[in-house]
Amino acid sequence: MNETWKKYEEYMFKISAYELMLGTASFDAHTVAPKGGSEYRNERMAYISGELYTLSTSDELLQMLKELSEDESLDDDHRRIVRWHLKDMMRDRYIPKDFFVEYEKLVMDANVAWEKAKNENDYQIFKPYLLKIIEMKKQQLTYLPDGDKGYDVFLDDYEPGMTMAKYDEFFSLIKEKLVPVIKKIREREQIDDSFNYDYYPIDKQKELAELIMKYIDFDFDNGILSTTEHPFTHPLQKHDVRVTTHYYEHSLVSSIFSVIHECGHANYNHSIRDDLAETYVFDNISSGMHESQSRLFENYLARSYHFWDNLFEPMKQIFPEQLKNVTQKQFVDAVNKVECSLVRTDADELTYPLHILIRYEMEKGIFDGTIDLERLDEIWDEKYQEYLGIKAEKASQGILQDVHWSDGSFGYFPTYALGSGYAAQFVKAMSRDLDIDQCLANNEFKKIKDWLREKIHQYGGLYLPSEQIVIATGQPFDPHNYTDYLVEKYSKLYGLNEE
Ligand code: ZN
């Protein structure tokens, strides 16, 4: 290996040490740390973030990356690592360090305020933080050479190549194909899912989570499950990937699908090739690609009948009273029940993209100035009325439900819908090579994981999403795979073609 690459690796070791410390502290703050310590903690974490910023935007690193980018002796994989790293770094260098540190502190404080606001059902606690974050995001744009592109800049941050024009087209297909189906289903007899709202003790739910994680072959030697307000996955490194969930005493399925969703993310990070695991591409994976893997687990697999062949009876043993009169078919039908509901993370697959559309339209409006920032909570409610015909009684089920805006993740939401779209195409390709239902029925989840590793996970973030999709499926992304899948699945479930 050449000298510059060796120097670069040594430099990256230093960066990764800072990242590990900050990442561990951040996980601690989100899970077990007492809220009272947040001021002290956040000031110091923001300081360390600043030190990391200095290290990762230095002239020395820039010089190394520039040299490597012109080095003809590097193989294709190494050239890609250098290309992505250099691209991101050039961008980061436009942001002044003071601004960066101030922003880091703000989002940590905002997260604490958001959690308090959500628990107390009071948007006013969070509002000043949200407005300040928006102001700083707008200021951030003024530092960037392409800042005049506005919201497109943030969309591209999370999904390279995506723009408002492309998302507009994507969402207009969704509206055209799905809204009529949702309308027809609302006129049908509703599926009974009342068992879900029974009392499910949390210690028993934990037992169930472990059972499901074993079935989907979660790598417990290199990962853990913890609890938080808002479920997330935290990949500290290949051999330490942490997933979290939130248990509700009066919902059986909320935590089940959160756990499976997060395990889909974790599986991506666990399955990267060893020689890439300590490089820049370990987790600079686009959000759409990452969400495609979590949504694939959560929906395409876990909401299918055969996923439960090996789990339903053991689950009944954990909750014998609550599930006494429920069959596997009733359970699977219930977890696919279409309902215009308030909370995104509990939404069915069919109405889910409308939840995303609402957030996408709001974010667009925030950055093009067409939304009155003083009325964000009201506009949220108006959009739920418009698209889903319902209105939140409590802010915790309205604008406060998601964690994302508290950490400034504008541009992230649309990737959930896009990722679900990618997943449809991956599943279609997978089913050419594997009988997926049979793998599930035979307790051979590993075969599914092997396919995903071989076609997608091993590469980490080596390829752009557009390239990765072609590698895995042989075709460029076609959102019709997604809308066709949803229309077919739900027409069958609700007997819409049997007029
Ligand atoms: Zn996710």
- Cα 258 to ligand 1 centre (Å): 9
Domain boundary assignment for the chain: 3-149, 164-498
- Cα 293 to ligand 1 centre (Å): 8
pLDDT of amino acid 346: 87
- Cα 294 to ligand 1 centre (Å): 6
Write the DSSP assignment of 443-475 as a string of letters.
Answer: T-HHHHHHHHHHHTGGGTTSS-HHHHHHHHHSS
- Cα 13 to ligand 1 centre (Å): 28
- Cα 331 to ligand 1 centre (Å): 24
- The reported pTM is 0.95
Tell me how long the chain is.
499
Provide the β-strand partners of residue 227. 245
- Cα 290 to ligand 1 centre (Å): 7
Residue 142 corresponds to which tokens in the numbers above?
A: 């003024």
- Catalytic residue IDs: 262
pLDDT of amino acid 499: 56
Query: What pLDDT digit, counting tens, does each position of 48-79 carry?
Result: 999 999 999 999 999 999 999 999 999 999 99
pLDDT of amino acid 88: 95
Nearest residue to 137 (alpha-carbon basis) of 412, 371, 409, 360: 409
Indicate whether 1 pLDDT > 80: no
The fraction of the chain above a pLDDT of 70, given in percent, is 100
Lowest mean pLDDT among 129-133, 441-445, 494-498: 494-498
Identify the DSSP state of 285: -
Query: What pLDDT digit, counting tens, does each position of 256-284 carry?
Result: 999 999 999 999 999 999 999 999 999 89
The topology (CATH level 3) of 164-498 is Neurolysin; domain 3 (1.10.1370)
Buried-state track 237-263, b at ≥16 Cβ within 10 A, e below 16: bbebbbbbbebeeebbbbbbbbbbbbb
Query: What pLDDT digit, counting tens, does each position of 308-363 carry?
Result: 999 999 999 999 999 999 999 999 999 999 999 999 988 999 999 999 999 999 99
- Cα 7 to ligand 1 centre (Å): 35
Cα-to-chain-centroid distance, residue 360: 15
Q: Contact at 8 Å (CB) between 234 and 191?
A: no
pLDDT of amino acid 183: 93
pLDDT of amino acid 464: 97
Query: What pLDDT digit, counting tens, does each position of 84-143 carry?
Result: 999 999 999 999 999 999 999 999 999 999 999 999 999 999 999 999 999 999 999 999
